[in-house]
Each structure stands twice: as C-alpha cells, then as structure tokens.
Amino acid sequence: MGESDEPRPDGPVEIDDVLSKLEELEATVDDETERRQVRETMRTARRARRPRILGRFRDQFGLRDAGEAVVGSFVFGVPMIVEDGTFTVGEYIAGRPLALVATALVGVTLTFGVLYAGGFEDAVDGGTPGLLVRPVGIFAVAATVATGLLTAWGRVSWAEPAVAVGQTLVVWVVMGVGASLGDVLPER
C-alpha cells in the first residue's frame, strides 16, 4: 500500500517533477491540515531547488565557522601584514576621515558581496537579526585576527592610535574578504 502504479522514472528526478506531483496532491487533499502540510512541503522543495555554487549556510555562526573565517583571514591577511605598502596606505587614510570611512565601507560591501554570492540570505529564516549573525561574526573574526597579528608582530604602533587604526583597517578589509571566502567554501 502507498506504492503508485505509475512507472518509476529511469533517470534523475527533477525538482519541478516533484513540485508538479505535490500540486496534484494538493488538489486532491480535502483536509485543511493535510493541505497545509503539502503546501509547506512545496515551499521547502522550492527553497531546495536553488543550486549552491559555494557552501551552505546556517542561521548561526559556530566554532567551525569561526575557524574557517580565521583560516581565510590568515591566508589573505598575512601578505598584507608583511607588505610595507599596506602601512603607507593605512597612514595615508588615517589622516583623511572620508578615506577612512570609504575604506571601511568598501570592506563591508565586499564582505557582504561574497556572502551574498554564497546565498547566505536565502538560508536564514529568522529575519534580519538572524541575517546579521554571520556577517557580524566574520567582521569580528577578521578584526580580531588583524589587530592581534599586527600587534603581536610589531607591525603597528599603538602610540599613534589614529595611524594604527588606519593600518589595521586596511588589513581588516582584506581579511574580511578572506574570512567570508573561507566561510562560504564548501564544507566537503
């Protein structure tokens, strides 16, 4: 019982075929509770049909995610830390508030762009607060790694805080992109 007399498809089943069958089932169900269950299944199937080129996201930012972000930050940021041009740029923007703000906005935009390309907004059902968990986690990891490495390796002088902030910001921008890429790469 429960088996259909219809022949089974020989090849892979497409999600559109599943949705068509669910629409047929919805039309035949007479109980409202069951109809709601069929509709919910259809919504789930529609969300599942979107292919993911990059990794999958959850609405949380766990230890594994933080680890991926640290690796991405490190891989992208270390070349910036050892390159003296980074510090020249950081010193330049430190004395120009508009350039400082523009640099921060570029970093935020690029990081969100990478996450958006990975489809993080589709994976979050919790609305805006849930939507911000992942980017905030990535920004925090990148800022922590940038500040920690620059300070530990003696690449910034906190005796001049404005210059140190500018230099750290330049590294943070690159590390934010690296952290987001580390986070969106497939987990397999």
- Tens-digit pLDDT profile for residues 157-177: 999 999 999 999 999 999 999
Q: What percent of the chain has pLDDT over 70?
A: 76
Question: How far is 48 from 70, CA to CA, in rounded Å?
Answer: 29
Average pLDDT over residues 37-48: 77
Residue 46 confidence (pLDDT) above 80: no
What pLDDT is attached to residue 94? 94
Give CA separation, 42 vs 3, 33, 123, in Å: 21, 14, 16
Confidence of residue 132 (pLDDT cuts 50, 70, 90): confident
81/134: higher pLDDT: 81
Q: Please say whether the beta carbons of 155 and 167 come within 8 A.
A: yes
What pLDDT is attached to residue 131? 60
Confidence of residue 11 (pLDDT cuts 50, 70, 90): low
Helix (H) or strand (E) holding 4: none
Question: How far is 187 from 64, CA to CA, in rounded Å?
Answer: 10
What pLDDT is attached to residue 152? 95
The one-letter code for the residue type at 109 is T
Lowest mean pLDDT among 2-6, 118-122, 131-135: 2-6
What pLDDT is attached to residue 52? 45
pLDDT in tens, 57-108: 444 677 888 888 899 899 999 999 998 999 999 999 999 999 999 999 999 9
Which sequence spans correspond to the domains of the chain? Answer: 1-49, 63-184
Taken in order 6, 8, 10, 15, is the CA torsion positive or negative? positive
